[in-house]
Amino acid sequence: MTVPDRVLRVDLSAGRVRSEPVPEEWLARYVGGKGLGARYLYGMEPGVEPTAPTNRLAFLVGPLTGHLPGEPRYAAVTKSPLTGAFLDSYGGGSFASRLAGSLGDHLGAVVEGAADDPVALSLAGGEATIEPAEELRGLDAAETDARFPEAAVACIGPAGEAGVRYATIASDGGDHHAGRGGAGAVMGSKNLKAVVARDPPPETPPALRELRERDAERFADSDAGRWLAAGDTLETVSFADETGVLPTRGWQARRFDGADDLGVEPASERAAGRERADEPVPGGFRVPAGDEGDSDTDSEPDDTVPRGGTPIALGAGLGIDDFDAVTALGDVCDRLGIDVISAGNAVAWAVRASEAGLIGPADRDVGADPDLAFGDEAAARALIEEIASRSTPLGDALADGVRAAADRFGGADLIPTVKGMELGSYDPRGAETMALAFATSDRGGCHRRARPVETEAVAAPERSPAERAAAVADEQDRRAALWCLVGDDFLAESLGPEVAAEWFAALGDERDPDDLRLLGHRTWTLARLFNLREGFTRADDRLPEALRRETSGGSEGGTENGSEGERDGLDPDAFEGLLDRYYAHRGWDREGRPTARLLDRLGLADLPDEATPVGSIEDVPSVDGDDRV
């Protein structure tokens, strides 16, 4: 088996594609996926506007994509239009594996420039062609997918075309999304409607098949595997509710009376079936979406794949306890190509801002129902459609994100954001280390970089702040390493450095497990250097105003059942102390800048340019037992 070692460079402005080798040093240091994407992104000039033609958008796989157990994934790496920070988003399904098969000896395509009219990038046999796609303009994700029945498609819907700053890249007709941060808006700014993978998945050699069978069984026996088998990510709803971390009614409570109506049980009752891979790794529930397809197209999907983020953001977050209504809302987002977490938070902000008198009927057009309320699925749907089309003043403001809307109307303390990205899935007021994970996430308020909330409930009560900070950093590194391989998120528990080294050896690529242990740390540090160069500082690794003790209050009273009494905020001083320990553990200085000594250890000493601030060892926070430089 040939290990991929090239990339396709696509210039949409010139209408040109070329193949070039990846520098050997880059392959050794970053492998693929997140790491390689970060390196190509760092090669841009500082200060590039995310929707400018000069921004890069990379569609990347890893050398093991299509072979590892679990759901295959691809990485979309770019500068985020929502945050202005580094962005890596991941999509799964058949597109990911067929992308790997279509790229041949390439690890991905790095797209620059912008076409004058809509185009599609067609991939087959290791080559790429730029094809006119005017006929796809305005189609939603399912309709676009249906135009390519013999291929797998990653595309944008109307939200990406309209430049919604949290538009997704949808694949498999909207079943899967590279969701958070707005990679779809970058794709739209380039007039790139679709990427079409025409070849079948790569054939797995016998040596890798044996490892896949072994590690699929290992995964199935892991905690993550058993958890997914029991209820897929929908189990997150009941977990968050039981542990008091379920964001409810615009982050006003941490438990939801209707949680039982949004999770595994109602999905099981309605399921038309569950996707499963060949190996014993479960896939998602498929349930009726409630919407018929457009009769003028070939697309008539009758079911969708709800995952944990949908009932949390569009259900509990909006006070909607009707599973079918939440599923239908999720289907609207999926077809429009808009991130469900950001969309749910945007609607929740609008409801709370309306209640506070910050917005009113004048901020929506005459034909829109001015009433916004928690529990109203129809009102939520109408506002999401306004956002996706930017058709009303409020929809246009919210299309740029909650932070942008709050800058315009007020209400910055209503919905928490980090680096401009709305928080997802877990309320950190019930799990302090989750606040640190959100604050230090390289792409903004993302729950996928580390999920200490899932272990905090069972962690030893005497665990020190240094140990808790280290747990967050180490999980971020493990996931970053996995995303260089572009593996299923849930493999992190069972695919450590020694196992990964076995996989590489089966490819004929001998890797030292000790170097693979540094892979995630190196990649995370590179993403940090990118963000520092773009102007981010310690002030951006902040505790959101909506979660701070002095502003969240708790004086309104309430009960333990998820009402106002659970809104007590986090102590900002304690958080800053935890952040100091996090920086010290990473070998960053007090301002969150990696030191020259750390960069040398990670093989990055030659990387920073003059625009990238580097820290001093003398300024690393002095916290006992934490200095890892």
Each residue of 165-224: pLDDT tens digit? 999 999 999 999 999 999 999 999 999 999 999 999 999 989 899 998 888 887 777 666
Q: Average pLDDT of 476-484?
A: 92
Contact 122, 196 (CB under 8 A): yes
Model confidence band, residue 497 (pLDDT cutoffs 50, 70, 90): confident
Model confidence band, residue 286 (pLDDT cutoffs 50, 70, 90): low
Residue 511, pLDDT > 60, answer yes
Model confidence band, residue 403 (pLDDT cutoffs 50, 70, 90): very high
Exposed e or buried b per residue across 312-330, where buried means at least 16 C-beta atoms within 10 angstroms of its C-beta: bbbbbbbbbbbbebbbbbb
pLDDT of residue 496: 83
**How does the average pLDDT of the chain come out, rounded?**
87
Residue 14, pLDDT > 70, answer yes
pLDDT of residue 431: 84
d(CA 419, CA 393) in angstroms, rounded, equals 23
pLDDT of residue 23: 97
Using CA atoms, how far residue 457 sits from 188, 244, 389, 430, 624, in Å, is 42, 10, 42, 9, 25
Q: Average pLDDT of 56-79?
A: 93
Each residue of 21-52: pLDDT tens digit? 999 999 999 999 999 999 999 999 999 999 99
Which among 225, 199, 316 has a CA at the least distance from the CA of 277?
Answer: 225
Q: Classify burial at 413, counting beta carbons within 10 Å of its beta carbon; exposed 0-12, middle 13-18, buried 19 or more.
A: middle
Using CA atoms, how far residue 507 sits from 207, 278, 511, in Å, is 8, 22, 10
| CATH for 605 | 1.10.599.10
Which among 188, 192, 191 has a CA at the least distance from the CA of 81?
Answer: 188
d(CA 308, CA 429) in angstroms, rounded, equals 20
- Same domain, residue pair 505 and 570: yes
Contact partners, residue 516, CB within 8 Å, separation at least 6: 481, 497, 500, 501
Which residue among 370, 396, 422 closes a domain? Answer: 422
Residue 144, domain member (yes or no): yes
- Same domain, residue pair 124 and 253: no
Residue 17, domain member (yes or no): yes
pLDDT of residue 556: 33
Helix (H, G, I), strand (E, B) or coil at 93: coil
- Same domain, residue pair 315 and 388: yes
d(CA 458, CA 455) in angstroms, rounded, equals 6
The total number of structural domains in the chain stands at: 3
Positive or negative: CA dihedral 398, 399, 402, 407? negative
Residue 555, domain member (yes or no): yes
- Same domain, residue pair 89 and 185: yes
- Same domain, residue pair 606 and 545: yes
| CATH for 352 | 1.10.569.10
Secondary structure string (H, E, C) spanning 226-286:
HHHHHHHHHHHHHHHHHCCCCCECCCCECCCCCHHHCCHHHHHHHCCEEEECCCCCEEEEE
pLDDT of residue 554: 36
Residue 282, pLDDT > 60, answer no
Exposed e or buried b per residue across 480-507, where buried means at least 16 C-beta atoms within 10 angstroms of its C-beta: bbbbbbbbbbbbbebbbbebbbbbbebb
- Same domain, residue pair 112 and 237: no
d(CA 54, CA 612) in angstroms, rounded, equals 19
pLDDT of residue 39: 98
- Of 103-112, 234-243, 255-264, 285-294, least confident by mean pLDDT is 285-294
- Same domain, residue pair 572 and 485: yes
pLDDT of residue 488: 80
Model confidence band, residue 229 (pLDDT cutoffs 50, 70, 90): low
Residue 459, domain member (yes or no): no
Which residue among 389, 406, 422 closes a domain? Answer: 422
Model confidence band, residue 69 (pLDDT cutoffs 50, 70, 90): confident
Q: Average pLDDT of 481-486?
A: 92
Residue 445, domain member (yes or no): no
Model confidence band, residue 227 (pLDDT cutoffs 50, 70, 90): low
pLDDT of residue 495: 78
- Same domain, residue pair 606 and 479: yes
Model confidence band, residue 2 (pLDDT cutoffs 50, 70, 90): confident
Q: Average pLDDT of 464-473?
A: 92
| CATH for 187 | 3.60.9.10
pLDDT of residue 452: 84
Residue 430, domain member (yes or no): no
Percent of the chain predicted with pLDDT > 70 = 85
pLDDT of residue 413: 94
- Same domain, residue pair 236 and 382: yes
- Of 103-117, 185-199, 444-458, least confident by mean pLDDT is 444-458
Residue 308, pLDDT > 80, answer no
- Same domain, residue pair 270 and 390: yes
Q: Which domain holds residue 162?
A: 6-197
pLDDT of residue 551: 39
- Same domain, residue pair 314 and 402: yes
CA triplet 616, 621, 622: central angle to 5 degrees? 115
Q: Average pLDDT of 271-298?
A: 51
Residue 5, pLDDT > 60, answer yes
Which residue among 146, 173, 197 closes a domain? Answer: 197
- Same domain, residue pair 471 and 387: no
Each residue of 135-145: pLDDT tens digit? 999 999 999 99
Residue 221, domain member (yes or no): no
Q: Average pLDDT of 567-589?
A: 91
Residue 499, domain member (yes or no): yes
Ranked by mean pLDDT, which of 189-203, 231-245, 495-509, 544-558 comes out on top?
189-203
